[in-house]
Amino acid sequence: MMHGSNTKLTPKGVQTKQRIIEAAARLVEVRGPVRISLDDVREEARVSNSQIYHYFSDKQSLMLAVIDQHGRDVPGESMLGNFESVAGVKGWAESLIEQQRQSRYRGCPIATLGTDPATADPRVTLRIAAGLRQIERHMRAGYRSMQADNQISAAADPDALASMTLTSVIGGLVLTQLNRDTAPLRDAFAALCRFIEEERAPNPHSLK
């Protein structure tokens, strides 16, 4: 029987469950959720079928755990980046592009799941949306801070900038991972950075 959410796991149980979640996240990043099965996760995590079903009733419940795990880890993820200055946004873009090269075009599990039409389970959809909203809130707060510091124009719309940024990065990541080429992500960021440059505050001495 699968452990309930209120059942305390042993230290070994916690480690095993975490290993399964991390294995599933790696597979989602590389293959997407459609092309993986619980058998694939079992092999990747090096556990038995009984261990898989001890913690997860089905594939969807495992996908929910992947989303929850990465949702909690979001503050340390490169998807958030540095939005404290115009230079910080550019640096974040460069680091994300380089991360794609080094990881061989792997992406954030939340983003990957969110762009896959097969994740039709309402529970999964709601969790994905919540994870993406958390990322967008971070971006929005950063742009508002930049505006308060007079780094971008008072006429700029931080909400629209955050939405544009998230849309650009998700779209760029998907095309980069499909094509195994960072050009789409580079192009998306170049357009975004040009737009942000146009939103700079009029006094150049106020920019960081």
Q: Which tokens belong to 66?
A: 């992947």
Residue 6 lies in a domain: no
What is residue 89's DSSP assignment? H
125 and 22 belong to one structural domain? no
Residue 4 lies in a domain: no
Rounded CA gap, 125 and 15, in Å?
27
Spatial CA neighbour of 93 closest among 200, 204, 184, 13: 184
pLDDT tens over the chain, length 208 residues: 444 444 678 989 999 999 999 999 888 877 766 678 999 999 999 999 999 999 999 888 898 888 777 655 443 355 667 788 888 888 888 988 888 888 777 655 555 565 555 555 677 677 777 778 888 998 999 999 999 999 898 889 999 999 999 988 888 888 887 788 999 999 999 999 889 888 886 655 444 4
Rounded CA gap, 110 and 1, in Å?
28
23 and 107 belong to one structural domain? no
**Domain end: 21, 56, 73, which one?**
73
109 and 133 belong to one structural domain? yes
Rounded CA gap, 107 and 79, in Å?
9
The answer to whether 91 and 82 are in contact (CB under 8 A) is yes
Structural domains counted in the chain: 2
Residue 5 lies in a domain: no
pLDDT value for 113: 60
Q: Is 7 exposed, middle or buried (0-12, 13-18, 19+ CB in 10 A)?
A: exposed
Q: What angle do CA 161, 166, 172 make, to 5 degrees?
A: 120
As beta bridge partners, residue 152 has: 200
The answer to whether 137 and 181 are in contact (CB under 8 A) is no
Expressed as residue numbers, the domain containing 186 is 75-206
Rounded CA gap, 98 and 82, in Å?
15
Q: What angle do CA 1, 125, 48 make, to 5 degrees?
A: 30
Residue 110 lies in a domain: yes
pLDDT value for 171: 86
**Domain end: 36, 54, 73, which one?**
73
139 and 149 belong to one structural domain? yes
Rounded CA gap, 135 and 64, in Å?
18
84 and 138 belong to one structural domain? yes
